[in-house]
Structure formats: C-alpha cells, structure tokens
Amino acid sequence: MKPIEECTIGIVGMGLMGGAFAIALRNRCGIAQNNLLACDIDGNALTLAREAGLIAQGWEGARAGEMLARCDVVFLCPGPAALLKFLDEWEHSFKPGALVTDIAGVKGSIAARAEQLRSDIEFIPGHPMAGAEGGGFAAAARCNFQGKNYILTPLSRNKPENLLFLKDLIHRMGFGRITETSPADHDRKIAFTSQLCHVIAASLIDCEADTAITRFGGGSFEDLTRIAVFNAPLWTELFTTNRDALLERIDQFEDSLDAIKGFIRDGKITEMEQRLARVRERRQALDKLP
Amino acid sequence: MKPIEECTIGIVGMGLMGGAFAIALRNRCGIAQNNLLACDIDGNALTLAREAGLIAQGWEGARAGEMLARCDVVFLCPGPAALLKFLDEWEHSFKPGALVTDIAGVKGSIAARAEQLRSDIEFIPGHPMAGAEGGGFAAAARCNFQGKNYILTPLSRNKPENLLFLKDLIHRMGFGRITETSPADHDRKIAFTSQLCHVIAASLIDCEADTAITRFGGGSFEDLTRIAVFNAPLWTELFTTNRDALLERIDQFEDSLDAIKGFIRDGKITEMEQRLARVRERRQALDKLP
C-alpha cells in the first residue's frame, strides 16, 4: 500500500460518522481535499461537505460505482442492513486491492459477508466507539474521536501489513485503544457496553411521563438517560440485528436487579450493604484501567 | 428572626454535606467563622473544619447539647435513622425559637417526627439535591451547590417568615430551584429520580464481573454507572427506608424494560421505532425545562 497521503480515500455515507471521518482525515491526517471523495443517497450532505472544504467531489447513490473505482481506501458508513445491500450492489465496482473498512455496530453478519467478497478486496471490519447526539452530517463536527476505543474484527485472509496500515490511520485520526477480536466476541460485549445501556436508558425514560420530575433530581436521572436521544431506525436495527446477545444481557441485568429488589423488599440490610460495597469496588476499578 | 449574619449557626454532622454547608455559609453567605459551630461523633472532622477556618468550635457527640443551646439556626446532616435518634436524645437542648432543618433523603418519617417536636422549635424538613463521590468531610469541597435543586416539605405549623428566611439562605448558598411539596410526594419522586437510578447503576455493575469490558465501550456504561460509587450503609438505609415507593418504581421500570425486550425478542420493528422516537422526544423535553 502506498503512503496514506498519496491514497484516494472514499467515504460511503456522509452522515454523522462519515462526516467525522472526513474531518479527522483532513485535519488530523493531512489528507488533501483533492484525495477525499464521498457518495451518499443525500446530495445535500455532499454539497455541504464539498463547500466545507472536506471532499473534492461527491456522487449520489446511483453513481457510487464511479467513486469506488477510484478509491485505494474506502470507509463504509451505512448501518448494518444498508451496508449489506450496498455490498451486494457495488461489490464489482471496488478498485482491485482496495483497503475497505466499515463502522457497523454489529459485526457477525458483516464479517460473514466480508469473507465472501472478491478476493482482491481487503475488507477489515471495524467499529469506532464514537458518536454524538443528534446524527447526520450536521452533527459530525461534534463527534470527538480523541482517545476513544476502536474495535477491529479482522478476517483470517487479511494481510498483516494492511491491518497495520489501517491501525496506524485509526490512531492518527485520534482514537486510543484498538482491540482486535472475533465478530461473536464483539457482538456479545457490545450488547453489554452499548446496547443494554441504551435499552436501560430508554426504559427509564419510558416509565415516567412527567418530564418536570427532574425538579426533584440531583442529576442522576439526566446522567442515566443522556444517551436516550435515539436515532430510532438505527437503534432498532442494532437491537434486532444483535437480538440473541442482547436478550441474554437483558436477562443477566434483570437477574441482578431482581436480587437487589429482593434485598430491599425483604429488608436484608447486611446482604444489601455487601452488594453495594462490591459494586463500589468494581466501579472504582473501571476508572483505573489503562 | 434576626439577620443571618448575626445568627449563630450550628451544623450537626461534619461529613460531606455538613462540610459543604459550612463552606457555602462561610464563602457565599458571608457568615463569620465565629458564628459557625459544629458537632460530630468524629472529633477529627471537627479539628479539620476548625483548622480550615470554617467553624469557631466543635463539640464531640456526647456534648452536642452545649452547641445546640447556642444556635439560632441548625443544619441537621445525619442520615434518616441517626437523625431520628439525635432528635430523641437532644430535643430538649435546642434554643427556644431555633430554626432547624435537615438533609435526609427520605422525608416521610422525618416530617412525622418533626410534627411532634417542641412547639418552640421551627423545624422545616429539607433535601438538598447535591452530593459528591466519596463522602466524608474530605469530599465536602467537591460538593457543588450551584444551580442544584432543593426540596422543602414544610410543616403546616411553620411560620411563613421562617420559610422565607430559609429559602433566602438556600438561594444564597448557590442552590437554584426550590420546590415545596408534601413528604409523601417527595418520597415518591425521589424514589424515581434518585433511588431507582442508583439501583439500576448498581445492577448494571453487578451483572458483569469483567471490568476490562470497557475496552469495548463508547462511554455509555461508564456514564450509566458513574453514581455507583456507593456509601453502602447510607444507600442501604435510603433504599430500605423508602421501601414501598422504591419497589413500585422498580416494578414500573421493569414493565417498560419488559415491553422493550418483547419488541426485540419478537422483532416488532415498527413498535420499537415508535417507542424509541417517543423516548427521544421525552428526553429532549427534559433539557428544555426551565
């Protein structure tokens, strides 16, 4: 692979994450505007990205193949289902040898499809753990990559030098820890750290209609529900695509909740204090992780 | 009541909240060190508070009566059970006409006891919605009052001018909204905004032992569990003292969680999207409250 500064880079989907990649590639990695291309179903986002000095040229949906044919590196930024559809439609258009990665929040189905791609496409599935409230290209500038986690689920056929190339680019965009794992392990863990937390935040908002109840709060309720500003179709897709792993996590959470509820109901003071002391210890250990 | 600057103010319990009150009274309300007294079961906290220039004198537990006899205004800062015990032991020692308030996180039992106090004690039950991780006098400086909520559950016998005096003092310490309500309404709403949120955060930490799982997160798990650094005895007491209201809130939350789990399990895409859209709308309304 030639140096990244000499690569033509394409971004599929100029929404929140696609826009944030464009900004990071331009501002942090020194990629010239001339070398940055994008396609999107929404021509308006492409115009905005070009006028913002991010991309040289944009292609609307039906002409994505023209862009793909020119790109050495491609970031695929649609959600899981739209991504699979995009690959079916445009697999033949990728430039031979192109390094391709995605951002889908579930990796099992994506990695399985990636294994079936043309052998001259180097697809390395990924998941940047960054986002911003709102969504869409307009929110891209508020999406901060600095120090954030990035997960890769490489295919057995990926070449080590291409993996190194992508990891270097990820670090240069500002991300911190990069973790490599299997698609199944990713999906099990993301079901906990991300999806379960979003289900809980949604449930907490759902069970109380009186928004003025925050007059009685010290901020806990607001903190626990800050992530509840849902892009409803995207999160519905993430929840249902990772159904089995997520349902298992919800069950585990309910078991813990039931145990604590039992301590309260039955006045088990000692058991409650011991449980809360263990929780405190475990929570403090989180913040001491490297 | 004479002007607050001329009052002798006593703080019972020089822990996190007692210390934070002392700091606010000295730094924001212009109370002289000479007019600020404290008692505590821990002589060490009293020494620290005196050396920090906060209080003129401290009395250890068994001599609390000597302090109470001198105070025009008293902040009672123990937890609910210790507070009831303190009132039983020291009711006879309060100065006639003293304005007394407390900070206990449940108000039903406190307000009931306050109704029975000597008729020449003006007890106005309160609940400042502020805190800091950790606890104890050492954490007091990190307890920020600015703009925070404060709840009062006045007794029918409280004099309007005394209520106004206390509310003015609360605002001068930095608090924002002051809400007056009944003890039962306080306990029902606090069960939601505070206690349920703490039960959820505890359950979320409880159901996953692998602290390194945060390598797979974008921060949601950390956000939802930031409050899980429990003072275990205090929170056990708050949970069990407000048992019925809290159990009802847990049940309501579980109903919402079960509904969302059902949508995921049964692949009810439309219902899920509608529910998340409503959650988003309701969450956004929170931040638009005055």
Q: Where in chain A does DSSP place strands (E)?
A: 9-12, 36-40, 57-60, 73-76, 99-102, 122-124, 126-128, 150-152, 178-180
Phi/psi for B123 (5° steps) reads -95, 120
Per residue in B151-179, pLDDT tens?
999 999 999 999 999 999 999 999 999 99
B254 in contact with chain A, both atoms CB, cutoff 8 A: yes
Decide if A103 contacts A151 (C-beta within 8 A).
no
A221–B260: do the CB atoms touch at under 8 Å? no
Per the structure, the complete domain to which residue B258 belongs is given by 186-286
A230–B272: do the CB atoms touch at under 8 Å? no
Q: Are residues A54 and A151 in the same domain?
A: yes
Is residue B14 over pLDDT 70? yes
Is residue A290 over pLDDT 80? no
Nearest residue in chain A measured CA to CA from B134: A280
Q: Are residues A177 and A190 in the same domain?
A: no
Q: Are residues B39 and B138 in the same domain?
A: yes
Q: Are residues A176 and A260 in the same domain?
A: no
Q: Identify the DSSP state of A290.
A: -
Chain A residues with CB under 8 Å of B105 CB are none
Question: Given A213, A261, A267, which is nearest B192 (Cβ)?
Answer: A213
B193–A213: do the CB atoms touch at under 8 Å? yes
Considering the entire predicted model, what is its pTM? 0.91
Give dist(CA B282, CA B88) in Å, integer.
45
Is residue A61 over pLDDT 90? no
Chain A residues with CB under 8 Å of B194 CB are 216-218, 220-221
Per residue in A74-95, pLDDT tens?
999 999 999 999 999 999 999 9
The domain that contains B222 carries what CATH number? 1.10.3660.10
A177–B215: do the CB atoms touch at under 8 Å? yes
A216 in contact with chain B, both atoms CB, cutoff 8 A: yes
pLDDT the model gives residue A287: 74
Q: Are residues B76 and B200 in the same domain?
A: no
Q: Are residues B159 and B197 in the same domain?
A: no
Lowest mean pLDDT among A132-146, B115-129, B206-220: A132-146
The domain that contains A148 carries what CATH number? 3.40.50.720
Chain B residues with CB under 8 Å of A226 CB are 223
Among B160, B263, B207, B132, smallest CA distance to A219 is for B132
Q: Where in chain B does DSSP place strands (E)?
A: 9-12, 36-40, 57-60, 73-76, 99-102, 122-124, 126-128, 150-152, 178-180
Q: Are residues A115 and A209 in the same domain?
A: no
Q: Are residues A158 and A190 in the same domain?
A: no
End position of a domain, from candidates A141, A157, A181? A181
Per residue in B252-274, pLDDT tens?
999 999 999 999 999 999 999 99
CA distances for B261 relative to A254, A258, B272, angstroms: 11, 16, 10
End position of a domain, from candidates A181, A206, A234? A181
Per residue in A180-231, pLDDT tens?
999 999 999 999 999 999 999 999 999 999 999 999 998 899 999 999 999 9
Chain B residues with CB under 8 Å of A199 CB are 257, 260-261, 264
A264–B285: do the CB atoms touch at under 8 Å? no
Q: How confident is the model at residue B190 (pLDDT cuts 50, 70, 90)?
A: very high
A264–B247: do the CB atoms touch at under 8 Å? yes
ipTM over 0.95: no
Segment A102-131 shows an average pLDDT of 95
| Rg, C-alpha atoms of chain B | 21
Q: Are residues B46 and B174 in the same domain?
A: yes
Per residue in A123-179, pLDDT tens?
999 999 998 877 789 999 999 999 999 999 999 999 999 999 999 999 999 999 999
B283–A229: do the CB atoms touch at under 8 Å? yes
A276–B236: do the CB atoms touch at under 8 Å? yes
Tell me how many domains chain A contains: 2
End position of a domain, from candidates A155, A181, A207? A181
Question: Given B222, B240, B273, which is nearest A233 (Cβ)?
Answer: B273
Segment A2-18 shows an average pLDDT of 95
Which residues 11-70 of B have a C-beta within 8 angstroms of A?
none
Compute the mean pLDDT over every residue in chain A, rounded to the nearest whole number: 95
Q: Are residues B156 and B203 in the same domain?
A: no
Among B208, B269, B266, smallest CA distance to A200 is for B208
Q: Are residues B163 and B195 in the same domain?
A: no
Q: Identify the DSSP state of B125.
A: -
Q: Are residues B65 and B190 in the same domain?
A: no
B260–A206: do the CB atoms touch at under 8 Å? yes
Per residue in B72-89, pLDDT tens?
999 999 999 999 999 999
Residue A67 or A287, more confident: A67
**Hey, what are B26's tokens?**
């000295």
